[in-house]
Each structure stands twice: as C-alpha cells, then as structure tokens.
Chains A and B, each alone.
Chain A
Amino acid sequence: MGYTRYFRRNWQMYALLVLPMLFFIIFKYGPMYGVQIAFKDFNFFKGIGGSEWIGLDGFREVFANQDFYITLRNTLMLNFLDLIVSFPAPLIIAIMLFELKVVWFKKLSQTILYIPHFISWVIIGGIVYQLFGQQSGMINNLLTSLGLDAIPFLSDKNYWLITYLLTGVWQSAGWGTILYLAALAGINKELFEAAEVDGAGRIKRILHITIPGIKPTIVTLLIINLGNMISIGFERPFVIGNLAVMEYSDVLSTFVYRIGLESGQYTLATVVGLFQAVVGLLFLLAANYISKKLTDESIL
C-alpha cells in the first residue's frame, strides 16, 4: 500500500535510473564474462567459450615475468608521487578561488585552469616534447642561448619524473577544483561572518571553517584515489614516456598493451587486469577502513 503510493509518486526517478543501470550492466558487468580468459588458453578463432581451461598457468607466467614487477613498482611509484603532488593542488587552488571576491577574475581564472583538462594526452605529449626536448626543445634552446647547460627533462629518468608529475598537475588541477568548489559553496556563510566578527583572520578561517567544511569531500576523494593506486591511465605514461626512461615510465597499462594488444597474449593481459582489479578492491577497502577508524568518514 505504502509502496505503491510511493512508486506512483516517484516512478519518474526510477525511470531515470534505467539508463545508468543499463550503462553499468552493459559496459561494466557484461565484459566480466571475458574475465575467464585469464584462466584459459585464449584462441582467437575458438572464441572465449571454445578456448581450453588452463587453470592458473597464466598467473604463474605473469608472476614469473620480471617486467611485471618493474611495471608494478612503477605504477605504485608514479601513483604515489602523483597523489603527493597532484592531490593537494586542486584543493589549494579551490580554496584560493573561493577566497577571491572579484567575480569576473574568479570566473576567468577558473576557465583558464580547466582548459588543459579538455586537451587529449596525445596533444599534450606533442607539446611536452616540443617544449622540453634536449636539443630542439624551446626551454633548452632558451637555456643554451643564455649560456646554461641543457637539461635532459625527458631523457634522464629523475628529471623525467618531475616532468611527468608537473604535466599531470597542469592537466588535471583545474578540473579537480570543481568538486571542491561545489563543496565549498555548501558551507554556511554565517560561520564565516561569525568568525570574522570574533576576530579570526583569513588563515584561521581557512583552517577552522573552510577545511573542516569540506573534509568529507577530501576524504572521499582520497579514498577513491587510494583505491586507484594500482591502476594507471594508459595515455599519460605512454605518451610522455620514451625509451630512455622506460625504467620508470613502463607501467602496468603499457605492459598490458604490449603483451595483450601488440603481442596477442590475451591470457596474460587479462591476468594482469584481474590482478589489478582485485588488488585495487583491497586497497579501497583498506583505505575506507582506516579512514573510518581515524576520521569517522567513509564511503561504504
């Protein structure tokens, strides 16, 4: 009785849910059918169903491959450094933007900061190579014409790390502010006014009102980021990486691309993918658990 009334009044909401549900079923759950490739000797022409089961042989082969450990290490290293460098950037920018009172300037800065997000990594890669190349890059041309030594931004692994990280900040920081700005808009304005009346300065206000006000958002994003520690986008390391720095730039996604799409060893590629998914889930649960204990904020 109560249910039907409820549905009658709210059925539109459920109807709206159908599309997202379809999306998840088709694009997220459907492909899980293919996970069994990890346990099969996948043959192109026999298809997924027709290929033979091989148990854990695929896993044994992957875990015996030294490149797997190198790419795993690089994935964790790049993601961890990225977390340290890229995670605070949007937060800081968002707070700065929030403090701005001149509306047109605020809007303009916001737009300028977003734009890199819409540029594809392939194009960014092109720009990076034009700018940072050792012999023909613009920055090094400038340095050498000033009588300084050229810096191997892209071909020395340590410099490359810096290039990689800062490019990431440049590309994603502006976009990342959106969530924080939305959260900031939700803070009760009266709190700020009261604090101002009580004589709190800007820094005090930020520390005691702004940041606590968006703490749930920060924690949620941190948990999601930690859950993604094991997975890494393909384009950025692939496009910015090169042969001279493969020691650092070769990550799980490029490894999967090489053994899967390029060498046609789909079984091994699926094994790596499944491994990433399982470890990613464990990371997520662990981060969630710790956060719940420490701050009482969690997403599950």
Chain B
Amino acid sequence: MTNDNGKRKLALGLSAVLMSSMVLSACSSKDSSEASGNGAAPAGSLKIEIFDRGNAPAGVTASDNFLTNYVKENFGKANNINVEFVPIPRSEEVTKLNVLMASGTDVPDIVFTYDSGTFNKYAEQGGLTDLTPLLQEHGQNLTKFLGEDTLRYGQYDGVQYSIPAKRSTIGKYASFIRQDWLDKLGLPVPATSEELYNTLTAFKTKDPGETGGKVIPLGMTIAAAQYDSLVWSFIKPVSEQERFELTQNLSSRDYPILLPGFKDAIQYMNKLYNEGLISKDFALDENKETLTQNIGNGLVGAFSDDNDAIFYPDGTYDVLTKNNPKAVLSAIDPFTNSEGKTAKPVSAPNGMYIMIPKSSKHAVEAIKYLDWMSTEGHLQYIQNGIEGEHYTLEDGVPVSIPDLSVESSNKLSGGGDIGIIANGRIFESQEKNNEAFVKSFRTQYQDIIAKSLTISTTNPIEPVFTSRPIEAESKYGTTLSDKIKQLMVKATMVPPGEFEVTYESMLKDYMSSGGQAILDERKAAYSEQK
C-alpha cells in the first residue's frame, strides 16, 4: 500500500512535468488554427495600436483617455463597432510589433511603424492586406485627404500594402548660433560656409562665452540632425540618374556616401575636429545627450538641429536661458555648396506606415476608421481639442490657449498618437500648415521658429523615390548605417595625415559589406524604370 502511494506521487509529479511541456509545445504550433476561430466574433470590433510613451498624466492611460473615448463614442457607437486600443511602448515599437505580427493572433487590426525597412519586410513576407480594393470601396475621403503623392510611398512593388500618414511640413534641419556671442565680438551673422568657419575660429580663440577654454564652437554629434546640413553642403550637383544610383537608403534615410563630394565633407569634418572646432566627444553622442547638456550650459557657439527640437517646454532653449539669462540664439543657414546654395535634405511627404495585417478579420472596419478620421473635422478635434477650451481660431488656424487647467490639458493627452493619418496639423494649403506649426509653440519662440522652418525648407533635397524596394537595402541597412557612422567617426578623428588611408580602407569595408550590392541593385532598378 505505502509503496504504491509513493510511486503514485512520483508519477503525479512526472506527469505534471510532462503535461506542462506538452501544453507549451502545443502553444507554439496551434496559432494559425485559433486565428480562424476568432473570426466568428460579433461583427464590428476593431483593435488599434497606439504608442504608449509612458507620459500619460495621472488618472489616464495611453489607451483609455478623453480622446480614445471620443473615438469609441463617435466612430465606434455610431457604426456599431467595438473599438479597443492596444498600447505598445514607443521605445520598443519595432521589436514588440515583430512579436505581435509573428504571433498572428494578438496583433491589432491597425498597426504602424516609422521604419520603412520593417514595412518592406512585412510586405515581402506576405503578412499584409492589399488595401487597394478596400480604399476604393470604403476610403474615398481618406484617399482624397492623403493624395496620390503621399499614397505612393505606401506601395510595395506596386501594391498598396500600407497607408502612409501625411506630413504637414517636410522641412527637417536648421542651424542656430549664439547671437549674444556674435554681438560681443562684433561679428556678422555667418551666411556662407567660409564665414561660418571664421566665426567658429573666433569663438575658439576669443571665447566670448567666458567658458574658461571649454568652448565648443560647433556642437556636433553622430546623429543626422547635427551633421547632415554640413555634409550635404559638400555634395556636388548630380544628374537625376546619378542621384538615384549613388544614393544609399539605409534604415529609412538617404546617405550620400557615394555621391561626389562626400569625401570632401568628411575631410572638412576632420579639419574641424583636429582644429578643436567641433565637440571632441561627438562620436560618443549618438542620442544628443552630451550636446544638449553642453548647449544648456552655454558652452556651444553654433549647431544644427531639427527645426523644432530646441523649442519645446523645458527643452534646450529654455534650459539655456535659465542658465544664461543673456543667451540669445539666432536661426542661421550658413552651409553653402559649390553653387552657393544652402541645400539640405527634407523628409518625404509621408509619415508612418499604417498597415493591416493579413491575419486581421476587420480590414473593412479598419479602413472605415481611418476614413472616418479624415472627415468632418475629427482629426482636428483629436489634434487640437475643443474650440474655446483648448484653442481659438485665428485666420482659420487654431492657436493654443495658454495655461490650461489640468483637467483640460488631460483631455488632449495622446492626441498626436491617435491621429495617425497625419504628422502635424494639415490644412488646405502649405502656408496654413506652416502657420499652424509656428503657432503651436509658445509666443516668445514663434519668430525664431518661423525662421527656422523657412530655413529647413530652403533649397530642399528630397529623398529619392524608388518604386520598387531595393532588397539589398533592407538586408544590409542596419549594418551599413552603423558602418557609415563608423567611417565618419574614424576618418574625422584621425590626424589629417592619416585621413586618406583611413577613409579609403573604411570605404572599402563599407562597399564589401553590402554597399556594392546596393549600388548594383540600384543601377539595375534605374534601367528597369526607364
């Protein structure tokens, strides 16, 4: 008797182990069958991805707030569709999305990403719904709102696999300089590359900010916002064919590495570095932390950045003026190219890629939702809130009411992340878009932002459009974007005498790691297009 008892217990334990492992392995293989079972759910339910930036005010969450309720009421109830928002942490957007997509069951009906590589990968592997028929049937308003020019960015190999958001302004970069330093030294605002160089040298030798030798004449990092304006000013004018073939698009960004002039740009960086005119630690500063600190501490004379980056509340400019009440920045546009123009890259006219996974049973509702958003001021409501409570209209442009009560400002929480079909506020004309952009900032900064916005769209270099994806780019993109930064860092930091050798050997490494494959494929793609 007792013997059996002991054995039984052992058997029990063992079977528990076996059971659980069986359950586990079953989990991994049955996902497809379960997905089809879900289709029987009552008609009209829709799961929508939403970025969770972890900054929702107390009492509300990214997926449950005034505006998500607005959507549930006005779209959901009206169409008898049960709307649910699925929060995804902003910082792990792509990895989390990969996991959801691979699972096939838990994935929301509307997902999105800013990363064109991720979009291309999903499309290539056959995981997305073809949206053309759906747009024709349920999305006329949306099609009109976005326009063909934006929509074509959402195609993969000619098929509309995603809906790209519309961008209200395509300008990216402007440069800024310490006006109080210029005034102190009696220098003019630099308008050409040469003048800028002289100004930087003066900042270095005369130290107008009294930094005790810590002055950084030109703030630099290894992020595009800081180096792109400078680098592109060295790129020589090329034919449309050369532009297409020699550009390398890595991780959704055009790199001019093979375009004529790139080497000169890096050699110039090398010169600036060795003369102590740019940040010594630029190679360590991929996320701009050190630069932001240094600007805030009044050590930096000039720098390039995104046109809006420094103007947000408690942002870089606020910190600078708090630490140095006399500090004044001016927006400048000094990087002139061989033609004397301040050419600089701008964004493509699209924002994020909105996709409907193939496994979704609610593609129709999803399109209806996006279409709904583009009509009757719903997007405006989501972005701006309630007229009179959150904004007043000036010439048809909403102007934020300052000093909102906590309750009122909570109502606006998450608006930018719900209004996925647009990046920024969209109006009937570009001028109005710009005006609304400027007026969304605090009054004291509106003048300099208006200037910075103009600079960022002066002599724009638009991204090269490829009607079919370059496969080598999605394959080698991440590796190569690291390699190109490595090249810039290494070639900039060596003594001038070693520049040539370093540059050439790193370029060789770049080409053999996939750069050549991209070049070959682009050449083939160009002749195909003809």
Interface positions of A (Cβ within 8 A of B):
1, 4, 7-8, 11, 14-15, 18, 21-22, 25-26, 30, 33, 43-49, 66-67, 129, 133-137, 144, 150, 154-155, 242-244, 246, 258-259, 261-265
Contacts and interface: CB of A to CB of B under 8 A. Distances in A.
Contacts of A11: 6, 9-10
B332 to A, nearest CB: 23
B24, B102, B121, B213: residue with the most chain A Cβ atoms closer than 10 Å: B102
29 contacts: A1-B3, A4-B7, A8-B2, A14-B10, A18-B17, A25-B21, A44-B98, A44-B122, A45-B126, A45-B358, A45-B359, A46-B125, A47-B104, A66-B513, A134-B281, A134-B284, A135-B216, A135-B280, A136-B293, A136-B294, A155-B281, A155-B493, A243-B286, A243-B486, A244-B490, A259-B479, A261-B98, A262-B478, A264-B98
B482 interface: yes
B31 A47 contact: yes
Interface string B157-172: 0000000000000000
A104 B482 CA distance: 51
B444 interface: no
B104 A4 contact: no
B2 A4 contact: yes
A20 B172 CA distance: 55
B127 interface: yes
Nearest to A26: B24
A46 B32 CA distance: 9
A133 B281 CA distance: 7
Contact of B283 (A66, A155, A258, A263): A155
Contacts of A44: 98, 101-102, 121-122, 125, 127
B241 interface: no
Given A44-B102, A66-B512, A244 B479 contact: no
B279 A26 contact: no
B3 A243 contact: no
Chain A CB within 10 Å, residue with most, of B6, B118, B214: B6
Interface of B: 2-3, 5-7, 9-10, 13, 16-17, 20-21, 24-25, 28-29, 31-32, 95, 98, 101-102, 104, 117-118, 121-122, 125-127, 213-214, 216, 222, 279-281, 283-284, 286, 290, 293-294, 358-359, 474-479, 482, 485-486, 489-490, 493, 509, 512-513
B280 A150 contact: yes
A4 B6 CA distance: 7
B345 to A, nearest CB: 21
A7 B6 contact: yes
A155 B482 contact: no
Contact of B290 (A49, A67, A136, A246): A136
A150 B213 CA distance: 13
A112 B235 CA distance: 55
Contacts of A263: 117, 474-479
Given A4-B3, A244-B489, A135 B127 contact: no
A30 B279 contact: no
Interface SS, A side: helix
B280 A134 contact: yes
Contact of B482 (A8, A25, A243): A243
A25 B16 CA distance: 12
Contacts of A246: 482, 486
Nearest to B27: A30
Given A8-B2, A11-B6, 17 more contacts: A8-B6, A11-B10, A14-B13, A22-B17, A43-B126, A44-B122, A135-B214, A242-B283, A243-B286, A243-B486, A258-B482, A259-B478, A261-B95, A263-B474, A263-B477, A264-B98, A264-B121
A237 to B, nearest CB: 14
Contacts of B286: 242-243
A136 B216 CA distance: 11
A133 B290 contact: yes
A26 B281 contact: no
A57 to B, nearest CB: 14
- Of A21, A30, A244, chain B has the most CB atoms within 10 Å of the CB of A244
B283 A243 contact: yes
A243 B479 contact: no
A129 B493 CA distance: 18
B102 A47 contact: yes
Contacts of B478: 258-259, 262-263
A37 B219 CA distance: 45
Instruction: State the 10 A-B residue pairs at the shortest beta-carbon distance, nearest first.
Output: A4-B3, A244-B283, A45-B127, A135-B280, A7-B6, A262-B478, A263-B478, A8-B6, A243-B489, A134-B280
A167 to B, nearest CB: 15
B281 A136 contact: yes
Contacts of B127: 44-45
B203 to A, nearest CB: 15
A37 B41 CA distance: 34
Contact of A49 (B29, B477, B482): B29
B89 to A, nearest CB: 15
A43 B127 CA distance: 9
A242 B285 CA distance: 9
Contacts of B214: 135
A136 B7 CA distance: 69
Nearest to B509: A66
B71 to A, nearest CB: 28
A202 B412 CA distance: 72
A244 B221 CA distance: 12
